[in-house]
Structure formats: structure tokens, C-alpha cells
Structure 1
Amino acid sequence: MSATSQDQASAASRFAVTLIDLLDRVQYRRVSLEEQFDPVYRLRYEAYRREEFVPINSQRVTRDDYDNAANCYSFGVYIDGTLVSSIRFHHVTPDDPTSPGRSVWPEVLGPILEHGDSYIDPSRFTADHEASLAFPALPYLTLRIIAMACEHFEARYCISSVRPEHAAFYKRIFGSKQLGDERYFAELTFPMCLYAAEVPIIRDRVADRYPFFMSTAEERENLFGPDHRAVGAIAPTARMAHRLRLIETASA
């Protein structure tokens, strides 16, 4: 390994340790579909209004019909008990094809379902402005939910409807490849491109390089399972999952 490669690997390792340490202060909370004024919807509104991406509304929330879908999962991310970011995703299958991304790129995503495959469709990734400045790694902490969803639901693909200027992040971290051209979604005033990563191909590489994306089956069941309401906010288990992976690798 060259000196440059060693330096890059060392930097990645330090970054991963820092993120796992920060996860000790993080909790994830799943949003109830019945709560129309959940703080997550207000965070979305404030984030979009800050850049005038959505029109003003008197309720000061941003919701749409996709939030009510049976295959929708919305989450708030908390650091030290304060809501700092949010994200939602749809687990899209041939039996439940509801998908914000498919409404924009039907000719691209439709054939995936016709082939019998499934995908995770993340959307509404928003963050508190002050928190995004205080925690530059916030995107990783938030997207960890999506990594867990891909594992829990055994999805073939994880798609990403992203602004063109954010595409490099998804290509670098997840090896995502562009599937669709620039288009607009709903009331948003900015264009998005469609990218996708094939989960079985990138799973181990991402886990090895970014162990903070790892989780235990128990954490995933608590977040995505039918009894999530009885559990409340969930503390991440990346540290435990990483240790178990190291033990399994050493004994293999």
C-alpha cells in the first residue's frame, strides 16, 4: 500500500471512530402516521422554507400523501435529546409499489418491480441549520437509517433522488450510479437526479469502510418492526455490531 493510500485509510479509520463515538449521543425516533403535526414535519418545513423550496403555509408543516402510505417510514434523529435531522423512506415491492421516486421516473423504476426486485426509496432528508453547522457528519448519522433499512428489508437496490450537487457524495460513499435525468418532484423548486446502489454488491465494502452504518438485528427490528411504538426512541448499536463483525472475521 502506498503512503497516500495508508494516509487515506488512516483518515477513514479516524473518521469512523469519531462517528461511532458520536452515535453514543444519538437516538432515532420513528414518526407515528397519526401525528399530523409531529416535530419532524415542522423541521422539514423550516428547512425547505429557509431556502424557499416550498410555499408558505399556515400550519408550518411539510407533509404529502406519501407520508400516509402503508410502506412509509419516517424518522427523527436526535443528538443529546434535540431534534437535528429527519428522513423518510418507502420500502417498495411489487406488492406495494408506492414510491415518490417512481412517480418521477416511472419508466426507470417500474421495470425493477416488474422483475420482482425491491428497493428502498429515501426522501425528505432535512436538517436543522444550526445542527448541520455543529455536526458536519450529520448526513452520515441520518443516512444510517437507510443503511439499516436496506439490511432489514433485504432490498436489492437503494435509490437516491438527489440534487445534482449532492450526487458526488452518494457515488463516493455508496457507489451509486446514475439511472435517471434531472426532474422535479411535487412542490420542490429544485431539480433532482436519480441514482441507485445495488445493495448486495456494496454492502460489505460500505460496512468495512464505514462501520458506523452497521447495526444489530435487534435495533433494526425495534425501528422497523410492528412493535416500534412500544419501544420509543432507539439508541444506535453500531459499536456492538462492529465488535461482533470483528470477532466473526477473526474466527473465520
Structure 2
Amino acid sequence: MQPEAAPATNSRFATTLIELLDSVRYRRVSADQQFDPVYRLRYDAYRRENFIPINSQQVTRDSYDDAANCYCFGVYIDDTLVSSIRFHHVTGQDRTSPSRTIWPEVLEPILDRGDNYIDPSRFTADHDASLAIPALPYLTLRIVAMASIFFSVRYTISSVRAEHSAFYRRVFGSHRLADERYWGELQFPVCLYAADVPTIRNRVFERFPFFMSTAEEREALFGADPDLRAVAPSARQAHRLELLERVG
């Protein structure tokens, strides 16, 4: 989907997003559920733009969905599935990563020197929801922002189409690591970008406080014993606590 450009001023925007989060829920997808609605949403999104061929099951999954370091999520607004995303937490010990397969000469050295990264992929959205909610990319990528904190990664990388790169540069301070290549079965090229999490973390949270979260929410989504039910966002509580710490 096409992310909207980051707004020039964010106070009203940030308040609106935190209020919208009250109706948002995140649900982690079990790897055992091969026909989860998230995989059908992927299929519908890719077929709408003719990025993949027709298949009789009308779902889109790949071997990366079964990886031990894969985390897949659906985003719901008022109990309706509106978008989905997955990511891999990539370390020197577990190097399963869609982007590493495409750019091994760029990403292998990062792992070799002991750094780790989050590799998001399969970011898809319901067509009507993407038109009705222009801020849907922020609500969805909040999962990635939380994961970057939970796993204490050095980088969050992004394999994105060229027309989406401005969004990642403005919002996350991402910089380009590699030139365009083709990703899996998708019939369009993507570029590799990376955000240095320790460098941009505080700036992003200050500008976009709806990316903030409590440790409890992160544990429910990414912990060893995740809550596979819908999890409510905690940005409002996390932002309030951060403000109290400033004045205290």
C-alpha cells in the first residue's frame, strides 16, 4: 500500500492517532493457522494489483512464515481486519530473513559483526480501509517500532518500493543501503533501507508518540508466551508515563 507522507507538524496528527488507537487491536497469528484471514488479506491485496498469480486456495504464504524467528500480525479496527505485517528478528544465530536472501552481501556483514535487526515484510492492507484511513501505515508499522524496542535491535530495515522510500526517510530517518532488486514472487523491484534504532528512537517517539508502548503490551505481542487474542495498544498510557517522568 502507499504510505502517506509524514505531516509537517504532528501535534494534532499525533493526538488523532492516539485517539484512533482506542479502536485498534493487534492479533498475533499462530504459525499453525495456515488459512488465517491475514494470509487471505495478503492474497487479495497482491491480486488487486496483479502482483502474484491466481491460486486456488486464495491465500499467500511462503516458507518464511514458518521460520522460528517470524512474527506475523493482523491489525483490526472495530473488530475488522484492516492490515497485516510480519517481521523476522534476525541475529547471528538465526539468520532467516527475506531481505538477507536478496542482499546477502549487505546484510551478512551486519550479522557477522554482532549486530541484529528487524526485517519487516508482507505489509498489506484492505483496499477500502486504506482509502478510509490514510494513517493506516502508522498504525501497522507501530508493531515494528515496538518490536525494535522489545528485541533491542541495532537496525530496523525496510525492503520498499522506490515511491514509498520518502515515507521511511521522513518518519524513521532510514537511509538507503542497496539498489533495487526483486523480492520473491512479487513483480516489482524494492530498495533496501535501514534505520539505526538507538540513534532515531527518542526523536521518533517525541514526534510520533503513538509509536510508544508499555513493556506489558510488548510482552503480550512478542514474548515467549504471547497472547494470541486481540491486544489493545498502550500508547496513551506510555505517553502519559513519559510525560510524568519529565515533570517528576
- Short-chain TM bin: over 0.9
Alignment of 1:140-179 (within 5 A): 140-179=138-177
Match of 2:122 in 1: 124
Match of 2:93 in 1: 95
Q: Which amino acid aligns with 2:199?
A: I
Secondary structure at the aligned position of 2:247 is classed as: helix
Percentage of pairs with the same residue: 71
Alignment partner of 1:236 is 2:236: no
TM-score (norm 1): 0.95
Q: Distance in 1 between matches of 2:9 and 2:154?
A: 30
Q: Which amino acid aligns with 1:139?
A: P
Alignment partner of 1:180 is 2:201: no
Match of 1:12 in 2: 10
Larger Rg: 1
Match of 2:201 in 1: 203
Match of 1:5 in 2: none
Cα offsets for 1:90-144 (capped at 9, x unmatched): 0000010100000000000000000001000000000000000111000000000
The 4+ residue runs of structure 1 with deviation greater than 3 A are 8-11
The structure that is helix-richer by fraction is: 1
Alignment partner of 1:249 is 2:246: yes
Q: Distance in 2 between matches of 1:233 and 1:224?
A: 13
Alpha-carbon offset, residue 226 of structure 1: 1.8
Cα offsets for 1:218-250 (capped at 9, x unmatched): 000000012214x51100000000001111112
Task: Give unpaired runs (5+ residues) of structure 2.
Answer: 1-5
Aligned residues: 243
Q: Distance in 2 between matches of 1:98 and 1:44?
A: 21
Alignment partner of 1:218 is 2:216: yes
Q: Distance in 1 between matches of 2:108 and 2:66?
A: 21
Secondary structure at the aligned position of 1:24 is classed as: helix
Task: Give unpaired runs (5+ residues) of structure 1.
Answer: 1-7
